Amino acid sequence: MTGEQRGQRPRTRVLVLANAALWCLYFVLSAINSGPHGIVLIPIALAVVLGITTTAQLLLHLALRRCQIQMALRTALFFAPTAALVAIALAIPKPSTPPNKIQPMPSPSGSYILRVPIEPNPGYNGHKVWKVTISDSSGAVLYKDDSSKCVGWLNAYWAWDDSDRAWLYNSDNGRVYFWEFDGTNWIKTYWGYGKDHREIQREIEQPDVLYPYDD
């Protein structure tokens, strides 16, 4: 083995590690902005992507190790598999956000803004939960559901009705809640279970878009 060949090996390792670091950074940033299901799938996707790109890079290295090519061209070829995967990912159409997952979500009158972030609830053993948060049109927070027990690792869906009531469907237990302004405060009310099991006397109907499926 020549000194030149020995000198190529550390550079190859550096390129492999640089590729792995870039993908790790990308998936960490993706995890920060993803929902609970995305956080579960991201480590699997990262392992698959690193396996594909690293294998392709090492095979490319074996094919090129006897070729006398400039380092810049070699580096560009080395990252070609990563560039190809990025191009494919960008070319795939991204699914649109469902109407019952939009954030921020303006109310029909435009007076209020609904957000449902995942935040810790100290009163619920510190679990991260979906918290209904209602702001005015300027962004000032008017209400936050600090009593929420809608766990953040499962899905929740939300919507406004035509009377500026905010609704939330908890997929964990099927419970449905709504929030309405009584002139002074925002009041949280348990509506019932699922689409048809109303447990309050008032005849208030849920908005049609609240659920992730159609019956």
| Kind and range of the H or E run holding 35 | none
Quickly state the pLDDT bin for 34 (edges 50, 70, 90): low
Say yes or no: 62 and 11 in one domain. Answer: yes
- Of 44, 60, 91, the domain-final residue: 91
pTM over cut 0.75: no
Burial class of residue 141 in the structure, from the number of CB atoms within 10 Å of its CB (0-12 exposed, 13-18 middle, 19+ buried): exposed
Does 111 map to a domain? yes
Please indicate, yes or no, whether residues 120 and 176 belong to a single structural domain of this protein.
Answer: yes
Average pLDDT over every residue of 120-146: 90
Note whether residue 98 is domain-resident: no
Residues 66 and 118 in one domain: no
Each residue's pLDDT tens digit, 164-203 = 999 999 988 889 999 999 999 999 999 998 888 889 998 8
User: Could you tell me what percent of the chain has a pLDDT over 70?
Assistant: 73
Averaged pLDDT score across all residues of the chain: 80
Question: Which one of 57, 91, 125 terminates a domain?
Answer: 91
pLDDT of residue 127: 84
Q: Check whether 80 has a pLDDT greater than 60.
A: yes
Instruction: Note whether 127 and 166 are same-domain residues.
Output: yes
* Domain assignment of residue 100, yes or no: no
Q: For residue 104, is the peptide bond before it cis, meaning its omega torsion is within 30 degrees of 0? A: yes
* 196 and 162 in a common domain: yes
For β-strands 166-170 and 133-136, DSSP reports them as: unpaired
In the DSSP assignment, the letter for residue 24 is H
Judge if 49 and 127 occupy the same domain.
Answer: no
Residue numbers of the domain that contains 26? 3-91
Choice between 82 and 9, residue whose per-residue pLDDT is larger: 82
Biggest distance spanned by C-alpha atoms of the chain: 86
> Do both 62 and 118 map to the same domain?
no
Q: Are residues 87 and 115 in the same domain?
A: no
Is it the case that residue 87 has pLDDT exceeding 70? yes
| Average pLDDT estimate for 12-18 | 71
End-of-domain residue from the set 62, 91, 120: 91
Do the domain assignments include residue 189? yes
pLDDT for residue 166: 97
48, pLDDT greater than 90: no
What is the pLDDT, as a whole number, of residue 4? 43
Indicate whether 74 belongs to any domain: yes
Domain count, the chain: 2
